[in-house]
């Protein structure tokens, strides 16, 4: 049997790729190139499948992007809401658990590039921006507001508008995500995210204390 040419398309060797491999490849490319510059044929090549295989699972690029977000961000967000409903510890223990969980599942991964993609391309692709607001931003902020209401009801945090507090909890995390995927590559003095996150949690503990 003749040897396989190095120039042979990868998909001929990976026809059994699962949808998860396609979404993983898509995430890499969305993070590297943004939404507009990512083509389905490039996703197929990165995943090692044919472009036709991509269409077996996803109708178009928008459908694929939504699958990436639902798999990587919406799913952990639903888990977070479940934790809030069942958690028996203090509000600050809950906040710490969820913030560090966000870092592990999203902030430290390629998923942290998604907010940058949305912010930079929302005007040109409002349909994916609306999707992200409806399925990620809205539910995420409501979950944080629910934590604030929980803490106030238990006397563990001072009385504060829960929506405002929820936004203040998330704002530094969004900054970390944006920094990691933009200016960090051009800045000599790098920011270590974990000490920054620890400092943020401590400031929340002190600032929200009754």
| pLDDT at residue 9 is higher than 60 | no
Read off the pLDDT of residues 58-77 as tens digits, 9 standing for 90 and up.
Answer: 999 999 999 999 999 999 99
Q: For the chain, where are the alpha helices, taking DSSP H only? A: 19-33, 40-47, 51-57, 61-69, 75-86, 91-102, 114-121, 126-132, 138-153, 162-180, 193-208
CA distance 181 to 29: 13
Domains by residue range for the chain, with CATH: 8-58 (1.10.10.60), 65-208 (1.10.357.10)
CA distance 203 to 209: 10
Read off the pLDDT of residues 47-58 as tens digits, 9 standing for 90 and up.
Answer: 999 999 999 999
Mean pLDDT taken over the chain? 89
Read off the pLDDT of residues 91-128 as tens digits, 9 standing for 90 and up.
Answer: 999 999 999 999 999 999 999 999 999 999 999 999 99
The pTM for the full model equals 0.85
Q: Are 166 and 141 spatial neighbours (Cβ–Cβ below 8 Å)?
A: yes
């Amino acid at each position: 049997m003749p040897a396989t040419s190095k120039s042979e398309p990868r998909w001929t060797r990976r026809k059994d790729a699962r949808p998860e491999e396609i979404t993983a490849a898509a995430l890499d490319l969305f993070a590297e190139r943004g939404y507009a510059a990512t083509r389905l044929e490039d996703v197929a090549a990165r995943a090692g499948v044919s472009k036709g295989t991509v269409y077996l699972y996803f109708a178009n690029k928008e459908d694929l992007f939504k699958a990436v977000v639902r798999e990587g961000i919406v799913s952990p967000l639903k888990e977070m809401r479940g934790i809030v409903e069942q958690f028996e510890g203090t509000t600050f223990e809950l906040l710490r658990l969820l913030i560090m969980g966000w870092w592990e599942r999203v902030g430290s991964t390629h998923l942290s590039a998604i907010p940058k993609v949305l912010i930079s391309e929302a005007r040109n692709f409002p349909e994916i921006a609306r999707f992200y607001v409806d399925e990620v931003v809205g539910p995420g902020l409501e979950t944080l507001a629910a934590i604030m209401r929980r803490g106030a009801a238990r006397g563990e945090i001072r009385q504060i508008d829960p929506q405002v507090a929820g936004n203040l909890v998330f704002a530094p995390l969004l900054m970390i995500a944006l920094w990691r995927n933009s200016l960090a590559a051009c800045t000599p003095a790098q920011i270590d995210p974990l000490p920054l996150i620890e400092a943020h949690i401590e400031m929340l503990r002190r600032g929200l204390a009754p």
